[in-house]
Amino acid sequence: MYSREVGNEILEFGVSGKLIMNVMVMYDRKTNSLWSQLLGRAVRGPLEGTELEYLPAWQTTWSDWKSRHPETQALVKGYSGDYDPYTSYYSSGSAGVIGETRTDDRLRTKQYVIGVDTGQATMAFPFSELSQEPVVNANVGELPVLVLFDADNANGVAYSRLSGDRVLTFESAAVDQLRDLETGSLWNSFEGQAIEGPLAGEKLDRVKSTTIFWFGWKDFHPDTGVYGADA
């Protein structure tokens, strides 16, 4: 998710019908510049090189979201029911519409990953690893990160583990709660906020992340690390 505000203007975006390495390309209706969905950056046109501001979000189920935000509003899909026309695509082994750009067999082609991008380094956290280790303290490049995963809702988020100059280490404390080993403070997992203890009131900074197929992530980030696969 990105902000549509660029400079002093609010841009309106549409789907261009184009793909870059199987990932959707948007266009803005003011300048007709083309924008990469994954990069959040204009790749052609008058605004080439301009980056959109990343807004933290996560992919989850409607029931999970509604339980956390009961007053939320929902976008009407335009049809009723749970029909998904892409079911056969998900179950196939194909790498998108135009195939892989790069070969990397560290993971299956359509393994789901949480892709984390710090701006200096990237790492893929496979769902298969996160299902076994839903609270991960790791380093992506030089940044200490915390990746959380809820297997029931396929919901994953990434935070910086920095609190001021201190690096925190987290463990699960209860449902939707964490504890840091350094101060013993209790944290709300998917809000990233300390709710009890010496750090009560502090919030962790979200790190840019997205849920994506492995083939899409590694094509854009050929130097990515893979949690659980790299030594």
What value, to the nearest 5°, has the Cα angle with vertex 187 and ends 181 and 192? 115
Q: pLDDT at position 144, please? A: 97
Percent of the chain surpassing pLDDT 70: 89
CB atoms within 10 A of CB 161: 21
DSSP class of 2: B
pLDDT digits over 88-109, tens only?
555 666 665 666 777 888 999 8
Res 68 pLDDT > 70: yes
For 9-34, give one letter per residue: b (16+ CB within 10 A) or e. eebebeeeeeebbbbebbbbeebebb
pLDDT, mean of residues 138-166: 93
Instruction: Tabulate helix, strand, coil % of the chain (nearest 5).
Output: 10, 40, 50
Res 141 pLDDT > 60: yes
Q: What is the total residue count of the chain?
A: 231
Q: pLDDT at position 75, please? A: 80
Q: pLDDT at position 51, please? A: 93
CB atoms within 10 A of CB 198: 11
CA 183 to chain centre: 28
Task: Please give the model's pTM, rounded to 2 decimal places.
Answer: 0.84
Rounded Cα distance between 156 and 113, Å, is 9
Rounded Cα distance between 124 and 26, Å, is 24
Q: Give the model's confidence band at 231: pLDDT under 50 very low, under 70 low, under 90 confident, else very high.
A: low
**Domains of the chain, residue spans:** 5-44, 63-161+204-231
pLDDT, mean of residues 35-59: 91
Q: pLDDT at position 69, please? A: 86
Out of 34-43, 55-64, 142-151, pick the least confident.
55-64
